[in-house]
A and B are shown apart, each in its own frame.
Chain A
């Protein structure tokens, strides 16, 4: 870690109850190798105790601390300050889009959670139960190589915030939910199939791939939506998804 400190000004979105939203400025000394969440926590601890923000695990396993940093969706607990500004620079911090704001930087992600339950997504699975890719045998940890697992979705909401379709239609299931639906595959459940192929399902996606761009958990929701489209067509033609 670097020992030289930077002066950084944080422009923080503020909103209380029915009050008018505005931005507050906080200038603090930071180590550039600290995370944006560290700076926000310190602003709360030493400058303004009224600041409301969500966080829990501080290492990208819970998904609570998603925000927009300089307009881009980030999991703030693993976003290095050095990657978003420079010494003497500014960092603008906003709550996620496409969710109701509770206060300041905290949003209500209830809809996302409810929909994840509706598609039966399971967030914590042993490696033996979820293969790396659909149809692939259960994973053994190899000395080399990466794995992609849908259980890795931490429901942080970054993909929903970044999605241009979620921004125009609150009914759209959204990237995390559709990716979550793939965990079971479409053959498992008729309700799931209707949801996925329905008007708020896979065909609403415009393939912007913003979701994959911002996903901090390597779930690659856009690719999963494309895979689901394939499954929907197979199921329509041959009666089974695979």
Chain B
């Protein structure tokens, strides 16, 4: 059945697990982990920014995977198109969060709201690639036509991201700007801070899986309803025509 991903009981459990792990993350991130030697408390935003970025890319990958599975005739199934669509919306949200949190982190530490660093720029491009995908998804069409268009668009975008990253990275290293920025992002962290960071990735992954399941459910309900409305409209038309 393509109308849900997880059984309700599993979904609920996942939801509680996510919430629990996010609370633990907050405890560690805001209190348990020590302030950084250089950045002091601003460091605490890293525990959200980095996991958000990971999940944004994960969501993007899932959208690409779902798109590929739908396009491949032998694995084509409604579920993959819906997974792609649901994951894309999550991806936009996490990408936007990544960018905003990055700004909030960068301002107190480096004095700037934005920097032309390869990772940030690539994330910004990723945001716009997704946004275009969502715009494409909203256009009414037969489910198969829309799925095909969206799947191809998602794969084009997926192929483009490494090219963007590579070219921007190259560009920025040639200009040697923002090296301090880069250094701090790559700074080795240890102990409780490292644990909190990894735990953050775990918590966000659980949350992503849970939200994916719920968003999928909503998508399935909406698309099924649309299909019924179209069938109904056709039936009424036919009924009006036949004597």
Q: Do A and B come from one complex?
A: no
